[in-house]
Copies of this chain bind each other. A is one copy, B any other.
Amino acid sequence: MADKKFSGVIPPVVVPLKQDRSLDVASFEKSVNRMIEAGVDGLFILGSSSEVVFSTDERRREVISNMVRIVDGRVPVLAGIIDTETERMIEHGKAAEQLGVDALVATCPFYALQGIDEIEWSFRCLHDALDLPLFAYDIPVCVHNKLDWKMLLRLGEDGVLTGVKDSSGDDISFRFLCIANEEAGHPLTLLTGHEVVVDGAYLGGADGSVPGLANVEPYGYVRMWKAAQEGDWATVKAEQDRLARIMHITDVTKGVKGFGAGVGAFKTALMLMGIFETNQMPRPVHSLKGENVDAIRKVLVDTGLLEG
């Protein structure tokens, strides 16, 4: 059976930087505490939103150790061990285990072209080499491979995977997995990463969500999850609509794209809301400035997160 410990709202944590790009521990503490106090069920560190691929090994350790210290057992901490290939992911996994996280999250290998046999073997290697529960992170926009849902189910049934974080955008595949997972006795905890259509994923059977936008607005995601558990779908939909309107902070900007537009908008919103000191980004990504900051401010005012 899937571990209930990892269900519910588990935001992927956005990492605040000072202007010199060192870790801003005070803002980090403020933001993490705010999410826990809002009632999130867990926290996912060192995923795409945590700028994991921009971080040196030393920065990865710094982020995890601060995270574990701040959270202090209040909610489970999942840590990404994202890297190009298996041996490197194992190294990150061992380091994360020593620092005291509760579960690990890995993508399939990337950069070198590979097939499904190799992807499956990679997850099995990680499971063999590491002790903590393992989640598969399905994010083809970054790794350029979609994880096959039949493979995921097989790995769940074999005890290799504890769950899946689905950021694939392939809701059909996710639905097939939800149904088959249920039929198989629910071996996998299935989390959706689609912050804009979490309501549909809950209706379809997801065990929780990993919404980046919950760094900005955790309260709505917590309310939506509670309403979903009570079967109050009108409330679920209304919360999701409201959150979707906030999500436009990521598409009102100009001249930026991808990571800089997405995480850049989250950092900018958190700065405008007084939770982060800066909206600094890791090199080589520029932080949002000028009219782009104004456009984000306007969305926050229009949706009631900032006073006008």
Contacts and interface: CB of A to CB of B under 8 A. Distances in A.
A135 B275 CA distance: 41
Nearest to A173: B196
Given A113-B257, A171-B200, A203-B237, 14 more contacts: A53-B85, A56-B87, A85-B284, A86-B284, A115-B258, A117-B286, A118-B284, A119-B284, A121-B284, A169-B170, A171-B197, A179-B244, A199-B203, A200-B200
A161 B48 CA distance: 29
Interface string A239-283: 011001101100100001111100000000000000000000011
Interface in A149-200: 169-172, 175-176, 179, 194, 196-197, 199-200
Contact of A86 (B54, B91, B204, B259): B54
Contacts of A284: 85-86, 109, 114, 118-119, 121-122, 125
Interface string A78-93: 0000111111100100
25 contacts: A48-B111, A48-B112, A53-B109, A55-B87, A56-B87, A83-B84, A86-B284, A87-B282, A112-B142, A113-B257, A114-B259, A115-B257, A115-B260, A117-B286, A118-B286, A121-B283, A121-B286, A122-B284, A125-B283, A175-B196, A175-B244, A199-B204, A203-B237, A204-B237, A233-B233
A282 B85 contact: yes
Interface string A42-53: 000000100101
Copies assembled = 4
Contacts of A86: 54, 282-284
- The majority secondary structure among interface residues of chain A is helix
Contact of A258 (B54, B91, B112): B112
Contacts of A240: 175, 204
A144 B53 CA distance: 16
A59 B90 CA distance: 14
Interface in A53-90: 53-57, 59, 82-88
Interface residues of A, number: 71
Contacts of A144: 144
Contacts of A83: 84
A295 to B, nearest CB: 14
Contacts of A169: 169-172
A110 interface: yes
A303 to B, nearest CB: 12
A201 interface: yes
A173 to B, nearest CB: 9
A87 B283 contact: yes
A256 B201 contact: no
